[in-house]
Amino acid sequence: MTTRNWAEPYKIKMVELIKMTSREDRLNAIREAGYNTFLLRSEDVYIDLLTDSGVGAMSDRQWAGMMMGDEAYAGSRNFYRLRDTVKEYYSYEYTVPCHQGRGAENILSQCLIKPGEYVPGNMYFTTTRLHQELAGATFVDVIIDEAHDAESDHPFKGNVDFDKLDTLVAEVGAERIPYVCMATCVNMAGGQPISMANLKQLRAWCDKHGIMLVHDMTRVAENAHFIQRREDGYRDKSIKEIVYEICSLTDAATMSSKKDAMVNIGGFLAMNDAKFYEKACSLVVVYEGLHTYGGMAGRDMEALAIGITESVQDDHIHARVGQVQYLGRRLRESGIPIVNPIGGHAVFLNATKMLPDIPQEQFPAQALAAALYVESGVRSMERGIVSAGRDKETGENHKPKLELVRLTIPRRVYTQAHMDVTVDAVREVVRRRDEIKGLRFTYEPAMLRFFQARFEQIG
Ligand code: F0G
């Protein structure tokens, strides 16, 4: 049987020029940035795979929507369009716009958490956990063990382990668990999905214990793709139907719409409970803005509403995840150790395996990301011990089993040729890996240290 080639379901109407720099320029730039790719200037970057957040290409329809902004302080028509779209596509009754995902996490955590409580989740996310901790809670990881094993090819590494949840209830009591935080396509595990079966079981578990189920829906459409491909009974369902089903199994959601929904800025908190909505409205005015804009311009809410409708198109999501799979497969074929299975938004390089001589305390993934930049101008992100931060009680470094570099693919931005150049760059870094040195902090911020930390090379 012959396989047919496929292509992106769009054509390019406008381009942004990028330029390749010299190795010497990049060496200077990374030194100036303290070996932290977050501190590089974007104009010094050739192919930017730092994140998939806020960097997607909006469609002509979304740009047209920007012209339809109703910038009234209160009751903008774009808010109502957004609210109705969230209800139609994601099932949630009430929407509170926020400037981005962490704005929604702040409101959520303040509304639902009392000091001394515990929030279980299918792996942590940096900002999500910090907001839980700032509200006085302790995060408890209840993801299946396979998620912490880069080699395991479990098809649903985002699944929840019910023994871990039961243990937590036995230890602290259900009344001290305000909600379970369930992410779709778990970022820190490598963009790994949760199955619908596991989610249904989680719904039943939450009902049994009278605990709310909150959805970090940042990458829900990508999760739906994996359910469609891998789970019995979903092959003939559309992405739109699967997304709706996922959302309707949960009580509330935080959304960073800078990812799935392809806008440059924005997010929301959504829920079904009227009392919770009322409380969120009273807090959003303190931190974000009035409840009908929450830190977003009217035009941005319009672009977001349109982005939501585009994000659940089967053609779109298959091309989007397909591009990530292409990059991952090519790296794997070149013998590069990556997290398996290949995720939905990024390919994660296994830095532990690529740099076995650099101990985790010397930040191998951070060093690898810096080396990849110097080699090629490709910008990536550390997702290992630096991102994991310190234990809030003991002050010790969290030591995650996954010491990774994330090559994150923006939506609708780069071509297959950019993926090929990236593969060549990673291969070249591997060839020269003996030149890579460990790092130590010269500046370590107290919170979310990975964003602004600075390092120097050891030896
Ligand atoms: N939840 C998840 C799963 C995320 O990936 C992010 C952001 C957030 C919440 C917070 O949203 O950035 O809009 O405030 N992730 C970005 C990334 C930063 O690069 O992975 P935000």
pLDDT along the chain (459 residues), means of 10: 82 95 98 98 98 98 98 98 98 98 98 98 96 98 97 97 98 98 96 98 98 98 98 98 98 98 98 98 98 97 98 97 97 97 98 97 98 98 96 93 96 97 98 97 96 96
Residue with tokens 């997304």: 243
* pLDDT number for residue 4: 84
The CATH architecture to which 23-52+314-457 belongs is Alpha-Beta Complex (3.90)
Q: Which long-range contacts (C-beta less than 8 Å, at least 24 apart) are formed by 131-138?
A: 131/102, 131/105, 131/106, 132/181, 133/392, 134/106, 134/109, 135/109, 135/110, 137/109, 137/113, 137/178, 138/392
Global model pTM greater than 0.75: yes
Most informative mutation of 187, 288, 404 for ligand 1 (most atoms within 8 A of CB) = 187
Fold for 60-311, please state it. Aspartate Aminotransferase; domain 2 (3.40.640)
* pLDDT number for residue 321: 97
Q: How many CB atoms lie within 10 A of CB 139?
A: 19
1: Cβ contacts below 8 Å, ≥ 6 apart: none
* pLDDT number for residue 103: 98
* pLDDT number for residue 459: 83
In this structure, the residue with its CA closest to atom 19 of ligand 1 is 51
- The active-site residue, picked from 37, 51, 85, 126, is 126
Please state the atom number of ligand 1 nearest to the C-alpha of residue 50. Answer: 19
CB 187 less than 6 A from any atom of ligand 1: yes
Burial of 237 (0-12, 13-18, 19+ CB in 10 A): middle
Q: Where are the domains of the chain?
A: 23-52+314-457, 60-311
Instruction: Tell which residue, 118, 172, 163, has the closest CA to residue 143.
Output: 163
* pLDDT number for residue 2: 66
Residues 319 and 113: their CA atoms lie apart, in Å, by: 39
- The active-site residue, picked from 383, 411, 412, 449, is 383
Amino acid at 173: G
CB 101 less than 6 A from any atom of ligand 1: yes
In this structure, the residue with its CA closest to atom 15 of ligand 1 is 53
* pLDDT number for residue 6: 83
* pLDDT number for residue 1: 56
